[in-house]
Amino acid sequence: MLARMATTTGTRFLAALRAAEPDLRLLTEATDTDAYRYDETAYLEPGHPLGVVFPTSTAQVAAIVRLCAEHRVPLVPRGAGSGLSGGATAIDGALTVVMTQLDRILEIDVANLTATVQPGVINADLGRAAAEHGLFYAPDPASFEFCTIGGNLAENSGGLRCVKYGVTRDAVLGLEVVLADGAVIRSGGKNAKDVLGYDLTHLFIGSEGTLGIITEAILRLRPMPPPMLTLLAFFPSVAAAGEAVAAMTSAGLVPATLELMDRFTIEAVDAAMRIGLDTSAGAMLMVESDLGGAAAEAELKVAADACEAAGSTSVLRAADTTEADWLRQARRKAHWSLEQAGVARMDDVGVPRSRVPQMLAAIEKVATAHSMRIGVFGHAGDGNLHPTYVMDRDDLAAGARIEAARADIYAAALAMGGTVSGEHGTGIAKRSYLVRQRGADSVRVMRSLKDALDPLGILNPGKVLEV
């Protein structure tokens, strides 16, 4: 309760904020601010914010940050709150700064293949706007219909098309960032090549709101590729599907998407969406080519051969673009579908692509050892898998059991040279693994960067690095 009461510092700060920015939308009542406490990590207990604000310009963000620095009030940048590592969760006594009102696509520059956008733009809206010009924005997290570009940049998010086009980082040319003292800097620009000085753009990408607040971005667009051809392959086991993935990778195949679902996920998705997937299969791969014409046919032929050699029970093609859209939707609904079967917590590990079969086997072993239901789906072509713990709703020990299982899964991933976070960030959920994966010296460098850019420690404290 004490944490919910505004402190003297907080009261003074709010009065100063109201006086300095009378037009700023500011929420302070718990009934209003509660909706902004959580992200998609329901298992983490967030703090109670001092207030929640919705700036509408870079100048306003800068003014807010300056006041926060002056009053030593921490702040939490926030996009749509769809994060899966706790980055946007509220902190006691901090100001949550929601960036969704900065939602304009400022320019689509066809001549330079760039889009200049504010951070509150929804990922899918940018995709649609680019498509009107015959262009294509590649990064597409499964949450693309509701997550913001600011969140994507701050998490360096991945998605279904990363296997071919790379993650968010690979699509960014420049940023405008408000620093911890309220100064506004611009890094990068529209130049396709630009190497002057340190690369600050890529320092802010993936920094989860701990080094600066992104207020604008120049993003790389591409010419729109031809419509995708979609192949589905069903396998008797995840091991066989894993072998097919490894075979495609070593054959040099770089499809537009290469996604996997295990039996549990196939059943959950089919129960939820009724699209006639083969629920007797042990695993399914979805492989897509956007090469167009004969090149796409040839690419999918190599994929089909790899699937058959690995023991697939059937290999099918989507009849048309509508059916392909349905299948893609089905994959994007994997987490939601597993949630219908219990309390589902999605995890996120990555391994070098050739180790996908071993990682899938390791996850199965952990599920058996812990007597747990773990659905597996993910971006298999990237080596990025989402083991999802599905617990009975009345399992009081669920939290502890998940902790034990995920420790084993992470140990297996790290032993294979993998990562405990492929695309969902560090936030609060993964920060205790930072030293173990990166090493104490690397974390020391991270801390020096944090101290240099945010000496007062007001930017999203406790996220990524423990305070």
The Cα 440–Cα 455 span in angstroms is 21
Site for ligand FAD in 63-92 (CB under 6 A): 76-84, 87-88
- Per-residue mark of binding to ligand FAD, 408-437 (x: CB under 6 A): ---------------xx-------------
| Token code pair at residue 199 | 């690369």
Per CB under 6 A, the segment of 21-29, 149-157, 354-362, 398-406 that binds ligand FAD is: 149-157
Residue identified by tokens 């904020």 is: 17
In 10 A of CB 323, how many CB atoms? 15
Closest among 417, 406, 304 to 347, alpha carbons compared: 406
Question: Closest approach of Cβ 81 to ligand FAD, in Å?
Answer: 4
Show contacts with ligand FAD in window 167-186 (CB under 6 A). none
87-116: contacts with ligand FAD (CB under 6 A)? 87-88, 99
Q: Which of 46, 47, 93, 158 binds ligand FAD (CB under 6 A)?
A: 158
- 381 contacts ligand FAD (rule: CB under 6 A): no
Stretch that binds ligand FAD, among 63-71, 140-148, 392-400, 446-454 (CB under 6 A): 140-148
Buried b / exposed e across 32-64, counting CB within 10 Å, b at 16+?
Answer: ebeebbbbbbeeeebbbbbbbbbbbebebbbbb
If binding means CB under 6 A, how many residues of this protein chain bind ligand FAD? Answer: 37
Is residue 347 within the footprint of ligand FAD (CB under 6 A)?
Answer: no
Q: Can you spell out the DSSP letters for 103-135?
A: --EEEEETTTTEEEE-TTSBHHHHHHHHHTTTE
Q: How far is the CB of 217 from ligand FAD (least distance, A)?
A: 9
Q: Give least dist CB 271 to ligand FAD, A.
A: 17
Query: Does residue 209 belong to the site contacting ligand FAD (CB under 6 A)?
Result: yes
Query: Does residue number 387 form part of the binding site for ligand FAD (CB under 6 A)?
Result: no
Q: Using the rule CB under 6 A, which residue among 460, 461, 462, 465 binds ligand FAD?
A: 460
**Min separation Cβ 332 and ligand FAD, Å:** 7
Give which of 225, 294, 297, 222 is closest to 256, Cα–Cα.
225
Residue in 412, 408, 446 with CA at minimum distance from that of residue 426: 446
Shortest distance (Å) from residue 453 CB to ligand FAD: 12
Contacts of 126 (CB under 8 A, 6+ apart): 105, 115, 117, 137, 149, 219
CA pair distance 19, 53, nearest whole angstrom: 14
21 forms part of the interface with ligand FAD (CB under 6 A): no
| Alpha-carbon distances of 6 from 14, 18, 49, 66, 96, rounded to whole Å | 9, 15, 9, 20, 14
Question: How close are the terminal C-alpha atoms of the chain, in Å?
Answer: 23
Closer residue to ligand FAD, CB minimum distance, 312 or 337: 337
Instruction: State the nearest-atom distance from the C-beta of 96 to ligand FAD, in Å.
Output: 9
Q: How many CA atoms does the CB half-sphere of 276 hold within 13 Å? A: 5
CA distance readout (Å), 106 to 109, 181, 215? 10, 26, 12
Residues between 116 and 135 with contacts to ligand FAD, criterion CB under 6 A: 119
Nearer to ligand FAD (CB atom), residue 66 or residue 370: 66
Beta strand pairing status for 51-54 and 95-98? parallel
Query: Residue 374 class from Cβ within 10 Å (0-12 exposed, 13-18 middle, 19+ buried)?
Result: buried
- Closest to ligand FAD by CB, 67 vs 153, is 153
Site membership for ligand FAD, residue 155 (CB under 6 A): yes
Q: Which is nearer to ligand FAD, 83 or 242 (CB)?
A: 83
Residue 450 touches ligand FAD, criterion: CB under 6 A: no
214 binds ligand FAD (CB under 6 A): yes
Instruction: Give the residue with the Cβ less far from ligand FAD, 74 or 357.
Output: 74
CA distance 62 to 181: 8
Q: Is 277 near ligand FAD (CB under 6 A)?
A: no
Q: Which CB, 105 or 316, lies closer to ligand FAD?
A: 105
Q: CB within 8 A of 399, min separation 6: which ones? A: 43
- Footprint of ligand FAD on this chain (CB under 6 A)? 39-40, 76-84, 87-88, 99, 119, 141-143, 147-148, 150-152, 154-155, 157-159, 208-209, 213-214, 335, 423-424, 460, 463
